Amino acid sequence: MHPILFKVGSFTIYTYGFCIALGALLGFLYMYWQGKKQYSLTFDQSNNLFILLVLAGVVGGKFFMIFEDPSLYLSQPQKLFSGSGFVFYGSLLTCIPVMLWYFKKIKVSVLGMLDVMAVVTCIVHGFGRVGCFMAGCCYGLPTDSFLGVVFSNPVCQAEPLHTPLYPTQLFEAAFIFFILIVLLILKKKKNFDGQLFLIYLMVYAVGRGVLEMFRGDIERGFLIENILSNSQFISILVISVALYFYIRLNRIKKITR
């Protein structure tokens, strides 16, 4: 759509990178504000966590790209760092154990902080998907419906150009911001720590599984060709694990009342 935000000489600011940076900044501010308010986190602790999550997100997001095309990336690993993007689930699943370790290390409520991080994740991811739309990546299938969006900029990654495509990036961004609003509403009504994080995981995974059916970038990888994508398979696993812990924590809360 608009992959380049602005350009001054040879200096270029890409819209995708700008959206990611804006989301990360807003996410950090929320994390620091709520972390300090609820669990007395210091600025240094929040800053260290942010740095760790950025590193973990990059490593996980790039590593999971291997599953999109194993033969390509294993034979030419340098392509992982060619600026071709990230796999969100890879970043998320790598960041979760890092958060668990760090919260235990600094001795704060692990489950409580995970609830905070659910909101942070929605903020960062939502802005990231807006960036995807501007860059044309994660594009949808061709459509004749009124929802179709035409990508014409030759720099964007959408294919084919000049053809109405489902704006799956905007669908997902809207869905993520909807989850964000729900989490903020439920924040004061939650029954147990960790509930918001588990709700986020399950609801997002369900929505992601549905949205995958409208995506047209088939190079993202399939476990079963044109039937079950890698992300849909991961969504099933995420829902199963999150549901298990939701039931378990809810049961523990009822017993301890």
For 21-48, the pLDDT digits (tens) are 999 999 999 999 999 999 999 999 999 9
The predicted structure's pLDDT at residue 1: 67
- In this structure, which amino acid lies at residue 199? I
| Cβ contact 99:113 at 8 Å | yes
Q: Which sign does the torsion angle of CA 108, 52, 138, 170 carry?
A: positive
What is the percentage of the chain residues whose pLDDT exceeds 70?
92
185 falls within a domain: yes
204 falls within a domain: no
Helices (H) and strands (E) in the chain, counts: 8, 6
Helices 195-211, 110-135: crossing angle, 10 deg rounding: 30
254 falls within a domain: no
The predicted structure's pLDDT at residue 79: 60
113 falls within a domain: yes
Q: Is 150 helix (H, G, I), strand (E, B) or coil?
A: strand
173 confidence band (pLDDT: 50, 70, 90): very high
Q: How far is CA 88 from CA 41, 99, 103, 106, 208, in A?
A: 27, 16, 22, 27, 11
111 falls within a domain: yes
Of 190, 60, 15, 214, the C-alpha closest to 119 is 190
**239-245: long-range contacts (C-beta < 8 A, 24 or more apart)?**
239/201, 239/202, 239/205, 239/206, 242/198, 242/201, 242/202, 242/205, 243/198, 243/202, 245/194, 245/198
Average pLDDT of the residues in 138-150? 94
212 falls within a domain: no
The predicted-structure confidence for 188-237, as pLDDT tens digits, reads as follows 899 999 999 999 999 999 999 999 999 988 777 788 877 898 899 999 99
Q: Which domain holds residue 177?
A: 4-189
210 falls within a domain: no
* 246 has pLDDT over 80: yes
Average pLDDT of the residues in 159-165? 93
* 249 has pLDDT over 70: yes
13 beta partners: 6
241 falls within a domain: no
As for how many domains the chain has, the answer is 1
State how far the Cα of 166 lies from the Cα of 92, in Å rounded to an integer: 25
The predicted-structure confidence for 101-133, as pLDDT tens digits, reads as follows 999 999 999 999 999 999 999 999 999 999 999
For 68, which DSSP code? G
What the block records as the tokens of 119 is 């909101």
For 66, which DSSP code? G
175 confidence band (pLDDT: 50, 70, 90): very high
Residue 154: cis peptide before it, omega within 30 degrees of 0: no
pTM of the model: 0.91
| Cβ contact 112:98 at 8 Å | no
